[in-house]
């Protein structure tokens, strides 16, 4: 029986997996370029069953559907990246310093010294949030030393939530769906810039795009997300 496990280090809310990390793990299990939909909060530290069919995979916690992935054809217009200094200045304006629904989040949580600590704030004069990122050597890697793809998916996750924060009102948002393309590699100690921008809204669904860049502007990855505003 094929299984995947979401370790508690990679949590978003205290008791469930970070959406971007989980989507990256599911995408790796599916293979190819896929869109991942999260159907319920991903449970931590226990095996989740992978079922395959002709189109993609389903991930189950017992009889409960956690996530599914299907092949995706998609496009995304990516804006020019901000400079490193612009990203540093933007990060100082990170909204999560004032209020954060999930301070334990592996990617953007202010209470996680062992997290990615990607604090994306508004870039001056642009409809964009951004943050600098220097990954540390505690993160999962591939045999060649580059970060594992699910780390890129993780870095591409939360900047999208903060890009749509103006619509969050007093309710937090959680990731519902994500599709991503990893287009480059990054190693511990490298400098990168994560960016996010709003794509629209339909009721409680918010849409955003994100990208990860090397400091020379080379694109390392891009993603499109659907966020769900939690009911009060």
CATH number of the domain at 148, please: 3.10.129.10
Residue with tokens 């559907």: 65
Cα(24)–Cα(175) distance, integer angstroms: 13
Residue 77 placed within a domain:
no
Residue with tokens 């205290």: 14
pTM over the 0.95 mark: yes
Task: Note down the domain range covering 39.
Answer: 3-71
In a shared domain, residues 90 and 66: no
In a shared domain, residues 51 and 145: no
Residue 158 contacts residue 103 (beta carbons within 8 Å): no
From 21, 45, 71, give the residue that closes a domain. 71
Residue with tokens 């490298």: 190
Which residue, 177, 169, 182, is CA-closest to 226?
Answer: 177
From 48, 71, 94, give the residue that closes a domain. 71
- The pLDDT tens digits of the residues spanning 55-93 come to 899 999 999 999 999 999 999 999 999 999 999 999 999
- The pLDDT tens digits of the residues spanning 192-222 come to 999 999 999 999 999 999 999 999 999 999 9
Cα(106)–Cα(118) distance, integer angstroms: 9
């Amino acid at each position: 029986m094929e299984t995947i496990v979401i370790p508690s280090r990679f949590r978003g809310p205290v008791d469930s997996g970070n959406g971007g990390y989980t989507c990256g793990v599911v995408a790796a299990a599916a293979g190819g370029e896929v869109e991942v939909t999260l159907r319920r909060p991903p449970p931590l530290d226990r095996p989740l069953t992978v079922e395959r069919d002709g189109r993609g995979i389903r991930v189950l916690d017992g009889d409960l559907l956690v996530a599914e992935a299907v092949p995706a054809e998609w496009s995304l217009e990516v804006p020019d990246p901000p400079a490193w200094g612009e990203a540093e200045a933007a990060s100082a304006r990170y909204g999560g310093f004032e209020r954060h629904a999930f301070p334990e989040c592996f990617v953007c949580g202010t209470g996680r010294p062992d997290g990615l600590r990607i604090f994306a704030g508004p870039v001056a004069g642009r409809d964009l949030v951004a943050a600098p990122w220097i990954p540390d050597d505690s993160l999962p890697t591939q045999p060649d030393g580059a970060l594992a793809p699910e780390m890129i998916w993780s870095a591409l996750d939360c900047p999208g939530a903060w890009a749509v924060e103006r619509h969050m009102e007093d309710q937090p948002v959680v990731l519902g769906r994500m599709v991503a393309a990893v287009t480059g590699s990054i190693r511990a100690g490298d400098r990168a810039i994560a960016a996010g921008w709003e794509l629209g809204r339909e009721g409680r669904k918010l849409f955003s795009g994100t990208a990860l860049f090397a400091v020379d502007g080379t694109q390392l990855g891009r993603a499109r997300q659907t966020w769900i505003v939690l009911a009060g």
